[in-house]
Amino acid sequence: MDLFSSNKPADSKALSVTQLVRRMKNLLEIELGEQWVEGEVSNLRKQASGHWYFSLKDERAQISCAMFGARHKKGSADLEDGAKVRVFAEPSVYEARGQLQIIVSKVERAGVGDLQAKFEALKKKLEAEGLFAAARKKQIPVFPKVVGIITSGTGAAIQDILNVLERRAPWVQPVLLPVRVQGKGAEREIAAAIRQMGAAQGETPKCDVLIVGRGGGSLEDLWNFNEEIVARAIFDCPIPLISAVGHEIDFTIADFVSDLRAPTPSAAAELAVPDGEELKMRLGVLKRRLSRRVGERIERLGLLLENAKRGVLSRGGERLLREPAMRVDQLRGRLASAVQADWRDRVAELRSLKRSLEAQRPERQIEQRLEKIQQMKVRLGRSVTQEIHDRRETLKRLKSMLRALGPESAFERGFSIATTAEGKVIRSKEDVALGDKLVTKLKDGELVSERVE
C-alpha cells in the first residue's frame, strides 16, 4: 500500500502555497482576533524604518512579534531584552516565509494592570476614610528653620533638594534620614522614618517641615509610596509634609495624603523654603521706602519746628504761659461749679431714696395693708347687707305672684280641683274609670268620692 496515496480523486485541484498560507492567516485573524499575551522580550531589533521586531517567550514556547511604527505606540519604552511585558496583539502569518507571528499594537509592563487596580482600590478606600480631605491638611510654614528629608542617601533626589535649599535658603538646616525608596520592605522603612521625624525623639531634631520622596521611575519603582503603611504614617504625622515622588506626571497615594504635593524633589525644596534672593530684594525695596518716608517725616517736622521758633517760641516764656494759665483758671472754676452742682444733685437723690426707703419699711407696709383690709371689710359688710335686703324683696314679690297665680286664688273664688287617688289632675271624664276614687280639693280641705256612672 502506498503511504502517500489519497482517497481523494487524482484530478482534485491542489492549493498553492500562497493560498494555503493566506487561508491560515485569515483563519487565525478571524478566529482568534486581538489578544493580550504575556512573556519575556528577547532578540529585540529596532529598524531605521521605525518598525521593531522581537520574540516573546516563556518557559516552553516563543513567538515572533512585529510592532510597526513602534515609537508612536503606547508602552514601547518598556520594550527591552529581558523585560516581562504584556502585549495586545493580533495573530497572523508572514506570507513570505510562512512564519507564524503576532502584530503588536500596545505594550505594558507585566503586572501593571494588577498594580493599577490595586492602586485604585486603595485610593478609593483611603478617600472614603477621609485621608485625602483638604480640611485636615496643614499649612506649610513660611520661614522654616529645620527641613527634614526622607529619601535615599545616595540618589539624585537628595542632591537636587540640597542644592535648591543651599541656593534659596542657606540659613535653613537640612536633616536627612536616609531610607531605601525601592524594593521589598522599603515602604516599612519610609513609614518608620516619617513616624520618627514626627515624634522628634532622641537625637532626631524637631523639624518644621518634611520632604518625602524620590526620583522618577516606573510604576513598580514608585510602588513603595503607594502602600497603605506609608499613607497612614503621612496622615498621622504632626509635621507639615510635602511629597515629592517621581516626575510631574507621576502620582502616588502619598501625594494624595500629604499636605502638599510637589511635581519633583527640586520643586519640593522650592515649595518648602522662601527664596533668599527674592527676600533680599523685597527687604531692599522696603528699606528704601521706609527711608524715604522717615526722611520726609523728619523734613516736615523740621519745617514745623522752624516755624514755631520764628513764631510762638520767639516770645518770652511768661508770655507764652499767660493764656494757658487763664484757661486753667477758667477750667478750675468750671470744675468747682460742676462738683458743687453734682454734690447737690447727689444730696437730693439721697433724700429721695431715704423717703422711698421709709415708705418701703415693713412696719409701714403692714399698716397700709391693715388699713386696706379694714376698708375692704367695711365695703364687704355693706355689700352683704344690701344683697340680703335685695334678696328678701325679691322673695316677697315672688311669693305675692305665686299667691295670685297659684291654686289658692282659685279656691278663694269658689273653684275646686279634682284629682285621682294618686294625685293626677282630672281634665276629662275619660281620665276616671267606674269605681275609681276621686279627691276634690277645696278652700278648706278635701272631699273623697267614687265614680258610679
Model pLDDT for residues 302-355, shown as the tens digit of each residue: 888 887 777 655 555 566 677 777 888 888 888 888 888 888 888 888 888 888
What is the strand order of the sheet 260-261 is part of?
173-176, 146-150, 209-214, 241-245, 260-261
- Output the average pLDDT for the chain: 85
pLDDT of residue 12: 65
- Contact between 98 and 17 under an 8 Å Cβ cutoff? The reply is yes
Q: Kindly report, residue by residue over 19-53, the tens digit of the pLDDT.
A: 888 888 888 777 778 888 988 888 889 998 889 99
pLDDT of residue 356: 79
State which fold the 17-110 domain adopts. OB fold (Dihydrolipoamide Acetyltransferase, E2P) (2.40.50)
Q: Which three cell numbers stand for residue 439?
A: 279627691
pLDDT band at 5 (very low <50, low <70, confident <90, very high): very low
pLDDT of residue 4: 43
Phi then psi for 422, rounded to 5 degrees? -85, -5
pLDDT of residue 27: 82
User: Is the model's pLDDT at 404 over the cut of 80?
Assistant: no
| Eight-class DSSP state of 229 | H
Burial of residue 100 (CB within 10 Å: 0-12, 13-18, 19+) is middle
In 3D space, the residue among 69, 70, 73, 39 whose CA is nearest the CA of residue 55 turns out to be 39
Average pLDDT over residues 271-300: 89
User: Is the model's pLDDT at 358 over the cut of 80?
Assistant: no
What is the model's pTM? 0.48
Q: Kindly report, residue by residue over 105-145, the tens digit of the pLDDT.
A: 888 887 666 677 788 889 999 999 999 999 999 999 999 99
Question: Is the CATH number of domain 115-272 2.130.10.10?
Answer: no
Q: Sketch the domain layout of the chain as residue ranges.
A: 17-110, 115-272, 277-303, 411-450
Average pLDDT over residues 88-114: 83
| Eight-class DSSP state of 16 | P
